[in-house]
Amino acid sequence: MSQVAEDINFAHQRRWSNRPMSLASRLWLLLSSPSLQLILLSRIIHWSYLKRQQGGLHKWLGRLTLIPIAPLKVVIEINTKSFICNDCEMEGGVCFSDQGNIIFGALKNGAGTVIGPRVTVGIAHQGRPVIGRNVWIGSDCVIYGPISIGDGATLLPGTVLTKSIPAGIVMQGNPARMVLRNFDNSKLREHQDVDAIQYLKTMGEV
């Protein structure tokens, strides 16, 4: 539950950075944002999956939870057109785009990661990546292969990444090339409406 609270706080900060957080505004955010519902459901599905891996009574508890989960999953999958693998280990405070179309199959996903619309992470026969903390992934990205993405890395929109990258790096293009080193992406992650390429250009001029 604490992980879900972190998700909601992070989304609240991104959307209404100047508003104070209250219980009502958090609830309104959870009701209005399909991506938060998707993350909440994926956490429940992950918990149920872990229960089903265990033996004895836990296994049956996990199977019992599938009965309410299955119809909810159909509704939310159609609403967001997204799919999150049930064995993905996600830390608290992850933000997905409300526009959806995300196919997410990472093995691990760190806290503070922001994922844009129309992103694919992991392809079954090619291997599944491990995503670090505070990573910003733009729209239309494809990430696959048995790779790891370092903390604080930034993937600009339209990147196709198949190799491991270190922390704090900016990648762009298909196939992906390095643009910058030691880039601080906290402004991109904390504000929803920042155009990444425009922001990088202004940073280059300064």
Partner 1 sequence: MFENIRADAMRVHRSSKSHYLVNILRSLWMNQGFRALLIYRFGYWLSNVRKHRFGWVIVAPLYPIYWVLSVLVRNAYGINLDQSANIAAGFYINHFGGIEVRNCCIGPHCNIQQQVKLGVSETTDNRLVIGEGVYIGGHAQIRANVTIGDGATIGAGAVVTEDIPPKCLVLGNPSRITQRDYDNRSFL
Give the orientation angle of helix 34-53 with respect to helix 57-80, to 10 degrees.
Answer: 160
Closest C-alpha among 3, 12, 6, 5 to residue 191: 12
Distance, C-alpha 18 to centroid of its chain: 23
Among 40, 144, 154, 165, binds partner 1 (CB under 8 A): 144
* Spatial distance between the Cα atoms of 185 and 190, rounded to a whole number of angstroms: 9
Taking CB under 8 A as the criterion, the residue among 69, 107, 160, 179 binding partner 1 is 160
The interface with partner 1 within residues 8-27 (CB under 8 A) comprises none
Closer residue to partner 1, CB minimum distance, 157 or 166: 157
Residue with Cβ nearer partner 1 (35 or 134): 35
**What is the token pair recorded at 198?**
């425009």
- Report whether 124 contacts 82 (CB < 8 A): no
Q: Residue 120, interface with partner 1 (CB under 8 A)? A: yes
Report the residue number, 177 or 191, with the smaller CB distance to partner 1: 177
Structure tokens, 36: 């938060």
CA distance 182 to 152: 9
Binding mask 39-78 for partner 1 (x = CB under 8 A): ---------------------------------------x
Tokens 């990088």 belong to 200
- Rg of the chain over all Cα atoms, to the nearest angstrom: 17
Minimum distance from CB of 103 to partner 1 (Å)?
5
Among 6, 91, 98, 140, binds partner 1 (CB under 8 A): 140
* Among the listed residues 96, 120, 123, 110, the one whose alpha carbon sits nearest the alpha carbon of residue 42: 96
Nearer to partner 1, 150 or 157 (CB): 157
Residue 178 as a binder of partner 1 (CB under 8 A): the answer is no
- Kindly list the residues in this chain that would bind partner 1 in the complex (CB under 8 A): 78, 81-83, 100-101, 103, 118, 120, 123-125, 140, 142, 144, 160, 173-175
